[in-house]
Chains A and B, each alone.
Chain A
Amino acid sequence: ETGVTQTPRHLVMGMTNKKSLKCEQHLGHNAMYWYKQSAKKPLELMFVYSLEERVENNSVPSRFSPECPNSSHLFLHLHTLQPEDSALYLCASSPGQFSYEQYFGPGTRLTVT
């Protein structure tokens, strides 16, 4: 088990629902990341936070809204999603943005119906 936890592990939601994914890291890291892993596609970065400031938004639609209230917690708020948003959402953290190893959580398997 890594020092990065994610809840829930599985989520099924309708297109009109609002839900949130939670990530928590117990490693004292300063950078946190959201990645999306869709079937048959490489893992792709969504957002990067460094010292609670968003430093990267990788052209993600506004129906995904990240929040980083402190350096240990990262949220991904979801609303009005589409079926193609169904994927495994992975959170990661690292000591700093550059040059350091990233540690991943177990992911949230999201299904949009």
Chain B
Amino acid sequence: KQEVTQIPAALSVPEGENLVLNCSFTDSAIYNLQWFRQDPGKGLTSLLLIQSSQREQTSGRLNASLDKSSGRSTLYIAASQPGDSATYLCAVKESGSSNTGKLIFGQGTTLQVKP
């Protein structure tokens, strides 16, 4: 059974710092991995999608990497800003004939960037 774990559960950093959020998954048979942002009480905003054949994706100050064989992904945020404060969720979409492409989520990392 696929399990997704995110470490740390919470993180507080001063503005301007570069930071790394970690995501690990137990079954490497995935179609893709997606990083989301969720603001309190709101829905999810997709940040980056990495297909299983890719190693990384970049969007602005965000860079996500994927090491499928070791079951790990990292989200790197450069020059953090108070507006980056949110919960960041990692999710994998499983491959294989028995699944329906559903996303399996981690519990998230809650980030606070202090001015």
Contact = CB atoms under 8 A, between A and B. Distances in A.
A48 B46 contact: no
Contacts of B100: 48, 50, 55-56, 97
A42 B102 contact: no
A107 B32 contact: no
A104 B49 contact: no
Given A42-B106, A42-B107, A101 B46 contact: yes
B46 A104 contact: yes
Interface residues of B, number: 25
Interface of A: 2, 4, 6, 31, 33, 35, 41-45, 48, 50, 55-56, 58, 88, 90, 92, 94, 96-99, 101-107, 109
Interface in B1-42: 4, 31-32, 34, 36, 41-42
B13 to A, nearest CB: 23
A55 B100 CA distance: 7
Interface string B94-115: 0100001111011110000000
23 contacts: A6-B43, A33-B102, A33-B103, A42-B4, A42-B105, A42-B106, A43-B89, A43-B91, A43-B103, A43-B105, A48-B102, A56-B100, A92-B44, A96-B101, A98-B31, A98-B93, A98-B95, A98-B101, A99-B93, A102-B34, A103-B46, A104-B36, A104-B43
Q: Majority SS of interface residues in chain A? A: strand
Contacts of A98: 31, 93, 95, 101
